[in-house]
Structure 1
Amino acid sequence: MPRPKSAFESTYPCDFYEPSDLLEAGQMYTVYEIARLLQELEPEAELDRETEDILLDWAIPWIMINADDLVVAEPRTEDEPGYYGLAAE
């Protein structure tokens, strides 16, 4: 349900990383690793499932919005997610 802005102590600009600021050239990342990087965590950081699900809510739209700057690679195995990296290195 919507809430009035006055219900919040403060608000912040909605700035997102550019792919080249977030990802290293020559590396490929899973959506889970990108979700962690968007929160300034290490790609291997241990998270509980609930927190990881919340971070994915940010990462999936970020990937879609920045699709023109990314490449995708098929998973190496059936039980692994796909990988994303910078389109231009």
Structure 2
Amino acid sequence: MPVPKSEFEKLHPCDFYTPDELLDDDQMYTVYEIARLLQGLDADAEIDRETEDILLDWAIPWVMRHADDLVVASPRSDDEPGYYGMKESEAAE
């Protein structure tokens, strides 16, 4: 059910990192790693499954929003997720 805004002490702007603020140019990341980075955690931080599921709720729309700035790599094996990274800048091409 929706909750009235008045029930919250403070409301924050919905600002997210841009890909170039969050990701290293020469690295590829899983959506799970991106989820951790969006929360200020290390990409390889150990978190419980419930927390990871919540963080994915933030990461998946972020990836979709920034799709024009990202490249995708297929999983290297069937038991691995796909990877996302920064699209090369035109200056680097």
Give the TM-score range, shorter chain: over 0.9
Query: Paired residues, what number?
Result: 89
Shift of 1:52: 0.3
User: Post-superposition, which runs of at least 4 consecutive aligned residues in structure 1 deviate over 3 A?
Assistant: none
Write the deviation string for residues 38-85 of structure 1: whole angstroms up to 9, x where unpaired.
000000100000000000000000000000000000001000000000
Shift of 1:88: 2.1
Q: For 2:28, what is the secondary structure of its paired residue?
A: coil
Name the structure 1 match of 2:57.
57
Name the structure 2 match of 1:21.
21
Write the deviation string for residues 10-56 of structure 1: whole angstroms up to 9, x where unpaired.
10000010000000001000000000000000001000000000000
TM-score normalised per structure 1: 0.98
RMSD between aligned residues: 0.7
Gaps of 5+ in 1: none
Shift of 1:3: 1.2
Name the structure 1 match of 2:6.
6
Gaps of 5+ in 2: none
CA distance in 2, matches of 1:30, 1:61: 14
